[in-house]
Amino acid sequence: MKRWTPPAVHRHQSGGVTAEPERMAWHCCSELVTVTCHEKCIPEFVEHDIAELYGSLYSSIPMLRAYDSLREPVNTCVMHHNGRLVAIFLVRVRAGILNVINEGMPLSDEQVHLFSDYAFARHPDVGVIRFHSVHLENSIAIARPHQRYRCSENIVISLPASVPAYHASLGKNTRRNLKRYGERLVRDFPSYQYEVLDGSEVDEQDVRAIISLNIARMASKSKVSAYDHAETERLVGLVRRCGLVGIARISGRVCAGALSFRSGDNFTLSVLAHDMAYNDYSLGILCAYHIICDCIDRGASEFHFLWGRYDYKFQLLGKERPLENLSIYRSGFKLISHADLFVRNQIDALGNRIAERLHAIGKQRSAPARLALRVLSSLRSAKRAINGQAR
């Protein structure tokens, strides 16, 4: 693999100052791969292209802005393979560590190798490259010292071209239950209505009502909902930008709903909630089914449930897609230099393995299983507190 650095071929504006992106290129197996770096800015084209490329909410510019991830400047690294866009990484360098801040995207072996070579060549002071919550496709063979461990999962439905095709692919029991609960709901509550609206069309109070249903449900289980005031405000703003909202009403009052967000051709479910007074009607899975169908009608390719292995996700044809953290060290010496990070990663990996084991035990119907679930819940709460975020 031969690397060369041609002169930059275009300019862009950033804060009124003309900046010239740096470009590095490789000939890999007679094919040209280039990485172009836009220093301390995100060019206008990136918001569209990163959404189309990944379809990941956690790689989308609206989501990153909503969580202030872009408040400080980032570099935008754009990778092309024979002229075709294959990767976009938003990166920030601190204390010798290069963090890729967009998450949830798939990564191939080639992308990992080429980007790490590029980053270490361009940043001589960088000792570690960190990817967070990415889907590593197939086997990734990394020659440099590295740490790789599972941190979460994304439950994903690959959507067919039509709602009838999706419905027909559901299990027999699932189809029967959806029909039975839907008919019973309409029979018992003739005023029941369900609608799906684009975020720009939704009444803000309806969004807040759906979030309040989640808060009430968590409180009934003696748990604290992730949706505090700050998180609620972020979601309300994000709904206006890229939301798709399903709302169920009885007698005009919101009794259930789903908040989802579009990124490229994919939709991601963020909040699914229902009034506990209607537990016997499976309103939650009905809302999830209806919004999935509406996404299909809008030409979606995938529907993302994110983390949490709840039965309804698999009943609606979700498939588990593992998410991993990956740290790549420039050398063994740099691994030693960043021993604190290495140890933190090891502890985090061990904690996740223990959580996986407790989750498996918790699936069993026994006293030890119930204890395992309580321990797992406590571990997750502690991890959220340490990370300073609630998921």
For every one of its 391 residues, what pLDDT tens digit does the chain have, with 9 covering 90 and above?
444 343 333 334 334 444 567 777 665 555 688 999 999 999 999 999 999 999 999 999 999 999 999 999 999 999 998 889 999 999 999 999 999 999 999 999 889 999 999 999 999 999 999 999 999 987 778 889 999 999 999 999 999 999 999 999 999 999 999 999 999 999 999 999 999 999 999 999 999 999 999 999 888 888 888 889 999 999 999 999 999 999 999 999 999 999 999 999 999 999 999 999 999 999 999 999 999 999 999 999 999 999 988 999 999 999 999 999 999 999 999 999 999 999 999 998 988 888 777 666 656 666 665 565 565 556 555 555 545 443 3
Tokens found for residue 112:
């990992």
The answer to whether 50 and 59 are in contact (CB under 8 A) is yes
The residues spanned by each domain of the chain are 2-151+322-384, 160-300
**Following CA atoms 178, 180, 185, 188 in sequence, which dihedral angle do they give, to the nearest 10 degrees?**
180
DSSP 129-157: EEEEEEEE-S----SS-EEEEEEEEEEEE
The answer to whether 236 and 271 are in contact (CB under 8 A) is no
Report the alpha-carbon distance of residue 243 to residue 155 in Å, rounded: 19
Report the alpha-carbon distance of residue 344 to residue 255 in Å, rounded: 43
**pTM confidence score:** 0.85
- Among 3.30.460.80, 3.20.20.140, 3.10.450.200, 3.40.630.30, what is the CATH number of 160-300? 3.40.630.30
CA-nearest of 130, 170, 149, 111 to 323 is 149
**Following CA atoms 137, 134, 98, 79 in sequence, which dihedral angle do they give, to the nearest 10 degrees?**
50
* Buried/exposed code over 363-382 (b: 16+ C-beta within 10 A; e: otherwise): eeeeeeeeebeeebeeeeee
Tokens found for residue 256:
């259930």
The answer to whether 40 and 49 are in contact (CB under 8 A) is no
Q: Half-sphere exposure (CA, 13 Å, Cβ side) for 4?
A: 6
Report the alpha-carbon distance of residue 185 to residue 101 in Å, rounded: 44
% helix, strand, coil for the chain, step of 5: 45, 30, 25
Instruction: Please give the C-alpha separations between residue 327 and each of 14, 24, 98, 146, in angstroms, as whole numbers.
Output: 30, 22, 10, 5
